[in-house]
Amino acid sequence: MNHDAYPDSYIRGILNSVKTIAMVGISPNTSRPSYFVFKYLLGRGYRMIPVNPGQAGKDILGQAFYAKLSDIPEPIDMVDIFRASEHVMPIVQEALTLKPKPQVIWMQLTIRDDAAALLAEQAGIKVVMNRCPKIEYGRLSTEISWIGVNSRTLSSKRAQILGKGVQRMGLGTPKD
């Protein structure tokens, strides 16, 4: 995978297939970007599991914190890493020991570790680096267009409405 430019179909495929996301490094501070992303993805129907050793035993938005990935007692589809690049390798190494292994390892905006990415890809895991799943979901669902952001997508098909209520859009199929 070329980690400088991901096709929309690759990102949409990941966000359409994963259901359980463990977020490593989520802050309990509600003003931090990690909290924004956690809350947003929770609201889009993903099962979100917060991972932060300093918060183990507490919970956030009704979800129990775990100290580390291997403490989580259920299968994880995607690990979303909110730690600086130098901390990525041990997290990926730990993720590779999980049974079953996660399908996706995602590193947030500004975070990139090519060696860790290669290690994960050699184990058959899809990798995304230096991207935000909230921004990507917003971009591909058209929600982010409401705030004037250049989504870099064109389509003559309607965007899909997600579930009930207003102002919640779905990702659609890769054809769209």
One of 31, 54, 74, 97 touching another protein (CB under 8 A):
31
One of 17, 43, 90, 118 touching another protein (CB under 8 A):
43
User: Measured from the CB of residue 109, what is the shortest distance to another protein in angstroms?
Assistant: 5
Select from 29-37, 79-87, 92-100, 113-121 the region that touches another protein (CB under 8 A): 29-37
Is 65 within 8 Å of 58 (Cβ atoms)? yes
Q: Which single residue is written with the structure tokens 């991972």?
A: 51
Residue 176 interacts with another protein (CB under 8 A): yes or no: yes
User: Measured from the CB of residue 87, what is the shortest distance to another protein in angstroms?
Assistant: 17
Residue 147 interacts with another protein (CB under 8 A): yes or no: yes
Give the tokens for residue 126. 């899809």
Residue 143 interacts with another protein (CB under 8 A): yes or no: yes
Neighbouring CB atoms inside 10 A of 99's CB total: 6
With a CB cutoff of 8 Å and minimum separation 6, the contacts of 6 are 128, 131
Residue 132 interacts with another protein (CB under 8 A): yes or no: yes
C-alpha 156/C-alpha 144 separation (Å) is 17
Residue 154 interacts with another protein (CB under 8 A): yes or no: yes
Q: Which single residue is written with the structure tokens 């890493």?
A: 81
Closest residue by Cα to residue 20 from 123, 98, 113: 98
- Which chain residues interact with another protein by CB under 8 A? 5-9, 12, 30-31, 33, 35-36, 39-40, 43, 109, 132, 135, 138, 142-161, 165-169, 174-176
